[in-house]
Structure 1
Amino acid sequence: KTFKEIDELREAHLQTQQDAASDMVKRHAESHVIEDAKFAVGDFVLVKNYGRKKLEPHWYGPLEVVRVTPLSTYQLRWGDGVPKEDLVHQDRLKLAKAPNDATQRKAWFSKTRFAMESVRDNNDDGLPDESLENDEDR
């Protein structure tokens, strides 16, 4: 084959590789479309508890959606009106089925909120404080 034919084959091969790469990028972009918001303001959601310990629940909540922000994140608040400090992405949320009765809903909110806080803040391991033991030894 001549040099001209070899150059034409190389150019055709490069063009085929570029087309394949372009198609691959296009397929990837089409398959990773940012989803629209799954939840609306006023919906009740449960939040995935990724930092949980062995006996803690997998989900905590319910929390009420207060605001939908860009990039599918949500501002939430507890049932007693206290806002959750950080935004939560929709991948960590699932819809909670809240009771219709206001009294039941209030009990539901307070029970789960305080249960989560007591699990997180409970430092009482049943052992005596070290400071008391040190004072008795002296």
Structure 2
Amino acid sequence: MRRMDVRRRVTEARVARLATADESGEPHLIPIVFALDGDAIHTCVDDKPKTTRRLRRLTDIAANPRVSVLVDHYSDDWSQLWWIRVDGFATVHAADTDAGVTGLDALARKYPQYQSKRPPGPVITIAGLRWRAWSA
């Protein structure tokens, strides 16, 4: 896959999976909404219902900031399959900080749900991106 095609596919994707690991290496994988903004990926803890506000992704990032984001496409026509993995280092920011506002602005440009209401939770910014991609 060409570099521009990879960035376009990630930019257009509506959902991805965020992989984190705790200090012992125990993996954790969750679906996320996200925005690619320059050389960073932003996601946030929004106010969709959750079983707890002590989220594993946040404690994992505090212990081990190395994360992966996976964007993929499945089709029963296997000639259309592709995936893109972006590895990087995550930081967590309060929504009212400069870094938090930057991330929320990027998310609001992509998702109308964030235009009228700002999420109360923290923003996760992933930088130092390393790209891997595969397509059939």
TM-score by length of 2: 0.27
Rg larger for: 1
Higher relative contact order (CA closer than 8 Å, sequence separation 6+): 2
TM-score by length of 1: 0.27
